[in-house]
């Protein structure tokens, strides 16, 4: 029992931050700590029975806990809007809003797949384990999700261009009157 406790403590230390970030992008801040705690409670209960507990397995478990939390919140009508992309200095604010909008336009399954690959930086094999499907299914779903999000971004770009021309707004700094 003591070696299992030590093994789990190490497993917890190695994976807490990743699971916490995963959950933070999917539930309101008020629910974050409970969902992360519930994820690790399930992990503790199943730790001896899992042959290779790993981060993809924890993501799958956390995904179930997130779904439970969304159902609970829906009963209370307290589900809040979540920020999708992390706000870093890598992309302009306009691009972040565009990406967030585009992710809202595709299915939850497609958006989740893209988050696992790009935000959580999982390999295709790990994504397959996290989603409970084959690597081939992940590759096909990924290709389709990229096409859908690209289409949503293109539609947004066209709409933005139309709005700018109707408002007679400059598109570039060089277009400003001198």
The string of DSSP letters for 131-145 reads HTS-HHHHHHHHHHH
Are residues 128 and 56 part of one domain? no
Per-residue pLDDT in tens (0 to 9) along the chain, 178 residues: 455 788 889 999 999 999 999 999 889 999 999 999 999 999 999 888 877 768 899 999 999 999 999 888 877 654 444 545 454 445 444 455 677 778 888 898 898 898 888 888 889 998 998 888 999 999 999 999 988 888 888 887 765 555 444 444 444 434 444 4
Are residues 97 and 26 part of one domain? no
37 lies in which domain range?
Answer: 1-82
- Report the half-sphere exposure of 81 (CA within 13 A, side-chain side): 6
Are residues 106 and 71 part of one domain? no
Which residues, 6+ apart, have CB-to-CB distance to 54 below 8 Å? 126, 129
pTM value is 0.58
**CA 156 – CA 68 distance, rounded (Å):** 33
How many structural domains is the chain composed of? Answer: 2
Where does a domain end: 54, 82, 110?
82
Where does a domain end: 34, 60, 82?
82
């Amino acid at each position: 029992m003591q070696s299992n406790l030590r093994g789990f403590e190490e497993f917890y230390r190695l994976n807490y931050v990743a699971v916490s970030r995963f959950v933070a992008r999917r539930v309101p801040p008020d629910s974050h700590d409970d969902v992360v705690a519930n994820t690790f409670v399930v992990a503790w209960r199943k730790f001896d029975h899992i042959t290779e507990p790993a981060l993809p397995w924890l993501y799958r478990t956390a995904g179930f806990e997130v779904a439970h939390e969304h159902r609970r919140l829906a009963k209370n009508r307290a589900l809040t809007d979540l920020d999708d992309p992390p706000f870093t200095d890598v992309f302009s604010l306009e691009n972040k809003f565009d990406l967030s909008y585009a992710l809202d336009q595709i299915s939850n399954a497609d958006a989740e797949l893209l988050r696992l690959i790009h935000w959580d930086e999982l390999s295709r094999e790990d994504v397959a384990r996290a989603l409970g499907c084959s690597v081939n299914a992940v590759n096909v779903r990924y290709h389709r999700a990229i096409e859908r999000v690209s289409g949503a971004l293109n539609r947004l770009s066209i709409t933005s261009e139309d709005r700018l021309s109707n408002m007679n707004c400059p598109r570039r700094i060089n277009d400003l009157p001198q």
